[in-house]
A and B are shown apart, each in its own frame.
Chain A
Amino acid sequence: MLSPTKPGFKKPDLTSNTGGIISPNPFWLASAPPANSGGQIMRAFDAGWGGAVWKTLGQPIQNVSSRFGAVGWNGRNGVGFNNIELITDRPLETNFREIYEVKKRYPNHAVIVSLMVETREEWKEIIQRSEDAGADGLELNFGCPHGMCERGMGSAVGQEPKINERITGWAKEFAKVPVLVKLTPNVGDIRPHGLAAKRGGADGVSLINTIKSIIGVDIDTFVPQPIVGNLSTNGGYCGVAVRPIALHMCASLAREPDFRLPISGIGGIANWRDAVEFMLLGSSSVQVCTEVMLKGYRIVEDMIQGLEGWMMDKGFTKLDDFVGKSIPHYSEWGDLDLNYETVAKINPVSCIGCQLCMVACDDGAHQCIHPNADAAIRVPVVDESECVGCNLCQIVCPVQGCITMEPVANGFPTASWNDHVEHGKVLRPKKGAH
């Protein structure tokens, strides 16, 4: 439960510093449609956003109609989202004039300009113009996985560490403000790409950009979505469904000893809890697009209050108190304690008798949840001698807190697989391996 805000209670300091880019709070608009124009960004700042990464500037493009697609689940649309929109389609002069106006009116907010051009000369020019307009930082868009990559930009750069390093080097050569490199998740391992940006001199990275995807197929017309005439193309996947992938990539870089650069986390952040998770895994700031597209700038009020309340609850006074705090808890599988044992406990008072745990355990786990011997009682019974502690029952239970996974004092000292292989440590007997 969040601490109530009391009069006179000192609010935590939400000031965020990502590689030298300072913002009054860690919540930034990601480079995307919500950050397409000065008018939008000023409204976002009024709503409470701390920063905005301007929709990517480059040679203005022509977009298609339609552009977006979404995955729904259980009647709720937008759990996953994709787009085939490209970078800005507005004249560069207009964008720069608006950047200048925004910075003049909001000097304390962070305006980061996302850039995507091809040649060294083009990078030099666009960086110069961005800084002249008042940019607080630059973000190099090496991530866009659709359209621009066919023209040798976006993820085509992000997927090649050497090109990434070279272009980052150009940007650092020309830029006076901090440079973030926005990485693509469309790679097997994110670390070489983060390290390439570091070698190029980047002040930090932003991740993740969108994931290559086909969002769906119209089963009446047979055309994949989003539909452009009778064709479609692969787009960039985002929204809350991608968060676990983004969290993993963020953590992978955050715990890489050779990396040690600030991270601006992106990928499925829809509320303050999501933001906290990214920050615990090493993000100094977070960027949001999809949830704003779906719900509007107003969501930031809850993000700020929720973060403040959580920080007060935990006794944190500034972001650095907890940024990266979960990283030491992220290990290799081989270091996990195989003798740590949990079993499911069903609270008979809160159980509503839906028996979803029973069917899930029966069909999807280890067949250790059984009907009550008394047919009149619908609370199932866990056979703890067979329960492997997999969490599936807890996941399917519709009643929060009804099923708990409780540690068992089995008497076996800690032993990981690595301990077992290297030092012959004893492992407890397997359960559920019948």
Chain B
Amino acid sequence: MSVLPENRSETVFKDFKPALTAKQAIVEANRCLYCADAPCIKACPTSINIPEFIRKIGTGNVAGSAKTIFESNVLGSSCARICPVEVLCVGDCVYNEMGVPPIEIGKLQRYATDTAIAEGWEFFEAGPDTGKSVGLIGGGPASLAAAHRLRRFGHRVTIYESRQILGGLNTYGIAPYKLRADAAVDEIEWLMKIGGIEVKTGVSVPVDLSWDALLAKHDALFMGFGLGPDSAMALPGGDLAGVEGAVEWIERMKLGLVDVSSIRHALVIGGGNTAMDAVRELCGLGVQNVSLVYRGTEAAMSGYAHEWTEAKNEGVAALWQTLPVAFEGTSGLCATRCVRLDEAKRPIAGSEFTIPSDLALIAIGQAKIGDLCAGLGIALDTGKVVVGPGGQTTHPKVFAGGDCVSGGQEVVNAVAEGRDAAIAMDALFREGRL
């Protein structure tokens, strides 16, 4: 696996949620009520036994705690940082019902898993070789979780990744104040210690390697290729320098350098969580004026309220019910022409105005690229791969999970889907049905 570049714009970011010290972790762990049939477990897409791992921190059994986490979620270290715990485990902590601050589950999970990775503790061994082989397309969280679980069962795995570095969104897309690429890569190196996970980077399927070749080589395939490029806005001036896709810009910022020194006004267009990340990233890099431009209302946007609250605290402005209609400038973007929208998102006549802007990041979604595997003849729904139980597609040898199925969810969902597909494949292998 290629190493990360030393110089990356993301390295200026500090953790928005700082790590707990050992002392803080014990105090927090001891607050946990150790609920029976705990709501936090139910709220976790990977169903980590949260009360159990917290109790183990309290008794000083940090290794046992980390094992409990990784048993359910082998990317438990990155998920600890990037999960929207406010709407998952922490949001369902029973202490909320009592008006008492909920347990900081994400921070405790980070404490246990970071300790394990730093100490190099290994909990899992590859199972005895079954002779079965699975090819995984895409090297993001879904494939990594699937590959690790398949190795535990003793199956052979090969990950095909078109980029040079594994990790998918974890490496290329997560806001660096949550997870920097180096931490993502550390976690992947740790999980690779199970051994036997073959990785082919720089391989684009099916361009470099055909589906037929893959099906001939492997007993099953797992589609974990995520989403495609940023959706574009077909507007006048859309090709000006300074108008960019947000995911693409974030990737450059995380893996390389972006120069924002001359940016006085930045706009982020969209109301989802990529937009939330982008505005906070621009602020963090030192851009003075950052505005969110969203066609709907604050209440209607899909970005998490807790993220938007922080963005506002960091100084981000918002233009609600506003739609860009043209990007203006000669050599590069100078201003963005917008129109106000009514409740039905229809332009209000005569409401056009221009706002100065030298950078506009478009965060209105990413392409669904299920067509990539059209050659396999599997069913798709508006570009998303259709799966049944265990992530099985309409092709019996092909499974799928993560954003290429969901159209864009949390990393923790991708981990759960990859893991569960591995369990389903293993069952079919053992029953001789695959």
- A contact residues vs B (CB 8 Å cutoff): 74-75, 351-356, 358-359, 371, 378, 398-399
Give the CA-CA distance A353 to B36 in the complex, in Å.
9
The 8 A-B residue pairs with the shortest CB-CB distance, nearest first, are: A359-B36, A352-B97, A75-B30, A354-B35, A352-B94, A355-B36, A74-B30, A354-B94
Q: What 1/0 flags go to B132-176 for Cβ under 8 Å of A?
A: 000000000000000000000000000000000000000000000
| B58 and A356 contacting across the interface, CB-CB below 8 Å | no
Interface membership of B33, Cβ < 8 A: yes
Interface membership of B95, Cβ < 8 A: yes
| B33 and A356 contacting across the interface, CB-CB below 8 Å | yes
- Shortest A306–chain B CB gap in Å is 25
Give the CA-CA distance A214 to B37 in the complex, in Å.
37
Q: What 1/0 flags go to B96-115 for Cβ under 8 Å of A?
A: 01100000000000000000
| B35 and A356 contacting across the interface, CB-CB below 8 Å | yes
Residues of B within 8 A of A356 (CB): 33-36
| A353 and B58 contacting across the interface, CB-CB below 8 Å | no
Name A353's closest neighbour in chain B (CB-CB).
B94
Residues of A within 8 A of B27 (CB): 75
Name A363's closest neighbour in chain B (CB-CB).
B36
Main secondary structure of the interface of B (DSSP, over half): helix
Residues of B within 8 A of A371 (CB): 37
Residues of A within 8 A of B205 (CB): none
Residues of B within 8 A of A74 (CB): 30, 58
| B98 and A352 contacting across the interface, CB-CB below 8 Å | yes
- B contact residues vs A (CB 8 Å cutoff): 26-27, 29-30, 33-39, 58, 94-95, 97-98
Known: A74-B58, A358-B36. A352 touches B30 (CB 8 A): no
Known: A74-B58, A398-B98, A399-B98. A355 touches B35 (CB 8 A): yes
| B36 and A354 contacting across the interface, CB-CB below 8 Å | yes
18 contacts between A and B (CB under 8 A): A74-B30, A75-B27, A75-B29, A352-B94, A352-B97, A353-B35, A354-B33, A354-B35, A354-B36, A355-B36, A355-B38, A356-B34, A358-B36, A358-B37, A359-B37, A371-B37, A398-B33, A398-B98
| B95 and A352 contacting across the interface, CB-CB below 8 Å | yes
Name A398's closest neighbour in chain B (CB-CB).
B33
Name B27's closest neighbour in chain A (CB-CB).
A75
- Shortest B92–chain A CB gap in Å is 9
| B30 and A355 contacting across the interface, CB-CB below 8 Å | no
With A356-B34, A359-B37 given, can you name 15 additional A-B contacts, CB distance below 8 Å?
A: A75-B26, A75-B27, A75-B29, A352-B95, A352-B97, A353-B94, A354-B33, A354-B36, A354-B38, A355-B37, A356-B35, A356-B36, A358-B37, A398-B33, A398-B98
Residues of A within 8 A of B38 (CB): 354-355
Give the CA-CA distance A351 to B97 in the complex, in Å.
8
Name B30's closest neighbour in chain A (CB-CB).
A75
Give the CA-CA distance A226 to B14 in the complex, in Å.
43
Most buried by B among A74, A352, A371: A352
Residues of B within 8 A of A378 (CB): 39
Name A371's closest neighbour in chain B (CB-CB).
B37
Residues of A within 8 A of B36 (CB): 354-356, 358-359
Give the CA-CA distance A353 to B37 in the complex, in Å.
9
Give the CA-CA distance A74 to B36 in the complex, in Å.
18
Give the CA-CA distance A378 to B36 in the complex, in Å.
11
- Shortest A72–chain B CB gap in Å is 10
Residues of A within 8 A of B33 (CB): 354, 356, 398
Give the CA-CA distance A352 to B95 in the complex, in Å.
7
Residues of B within 8 A of A352 (CB): 94-95, 97-98
Residues of A within 8 A of B34 (CB): 356
| A75 and B35 contacting across the interface, CB-CB below 8 Å | no
- Shortest A352–chain B CB gap in Å is 4
Residues of B within 8 A of A353 (CB): 35, 39, 94, 97
- Shortest B67–chain A CB gap in Å is 21
Most buried by A among B26, B27, B35, B38: B35
Residues of B within 8 A of A75 (CB): 26-27, 29-30, 58
- Shortest A375–chain B CB gap in Å is 10
- Shortest A360–chain B CB gap in Å is 8
Name A76's closest neighbour in chain B (CB-CB).
B30
- Shortest B59–chain A CB gap in Å is 10
Residues of A within 8 A of B97 (CB): 351-353
Residues of A within 8 A of B37 (CB): 355, 358-359, 371
Residues of A within 8 A of B35 (CB): 353-356
Give the CA-CA distance A74 to B54 in the complex, in Å.
12
Most buried by A among B29, B34, B36: B36
Give the CA-CA distance A371 to B39 in the complex, in Å.
13
Most buried by B among A74, A354, A358, A399: A354
- Shortest A403–chain B CB gap in Å is 14
Residues of A within 8 A of B26 (CB): 75
Give the CA-CA distance A356 to B35 in the complex, in Å.
6
- Shortest B101–chain A CB gap in Å is 13
Give the CA-CA distance A398 to B98 in the complex, in Å.
9
Give the CA-CA distance A352 to B27 in the complex, in Å.
22
Name A75's closest neighbour in chain B (CB-CB).
B30
Give the CA-CA distance A183 to B369 in the complex, in Å.
83
Name A355's closest neighbour in chain B (CB-CB).
B36
Residues of B within 8 A of A354 (CB): 33, 35-36, 38, 94
Give the CA-CA distance A371 to B36 in the complex, in Å.
11
Residues of B within 8 A of A358 (CB): 36-37
Give the CA-CA distance A358 to B30 in the complex, in Å.
21
Give the CA-CA distance A419 to B242 in the complex, in Å.
94
Name A362's closest neighbour in chain B (CB-CB).
B36
Give the CA-CA distance A75 to B27 in the complex, in Å.
6
Name A72's closest neighbour in chain B (CB-CB).
B30
Give the CA-CA distance A358 to B26 in the complex, in Å.
26
Give the CA-CA distance A358 to B34 in the complex, in Å.
12
- Shortest B121–chain A CB gap in Å is 19
Give the CA-CA distance A371 to B37 in the complex, in Å.
10
Give the CA-CA distance A353 to B33 in the complex, in Å.
11
- Shortest A321–chain B CB gap in Å is 38
- Shortest A170–chain B CB gap in Å is 51
- Shortest A376–chain B CB gap in Å is 11
Give the CA-CA distance A359 to B35 in the complex, in Å.
9
Residues of A within 8 A of B98 (CB): 352, 398-399
Name A360's closest neighbour in chain B (CB-CB).
B36
- Shortest B358–chain A CB gap in Å is 51
Residues of A within 8 A of B58 (CB): 74-75
Give the CA-CA distance A159 to B2 in the complex, in Å.
77
Give the CA-CA distance A356 to B38 in the complex, in Å.
9
- Shortest B31–chain A CB gap in Å is 9
Residues of B within 8 A of A398 (CB): 33, 98
- Shortest A105–chain B CB gap in Å is 43
Residues of A within 8 A of B29 (CB): 75
Residues of A within 8 A of B39 (CB): 353, 378
Give the CA-CA distance A75 to B59 in the complex, in Å.
9
Most buried by A among B29, B39, B94: B94
Most buried by A among B38, B58, B95, B97: B97
Give the CA-CA distance A74 to B59 in the complex, in Å.
8
- Shortest B204–chain A CB gap in Å is 46
Residues of A within 8 A of B94 (CB): 352-354
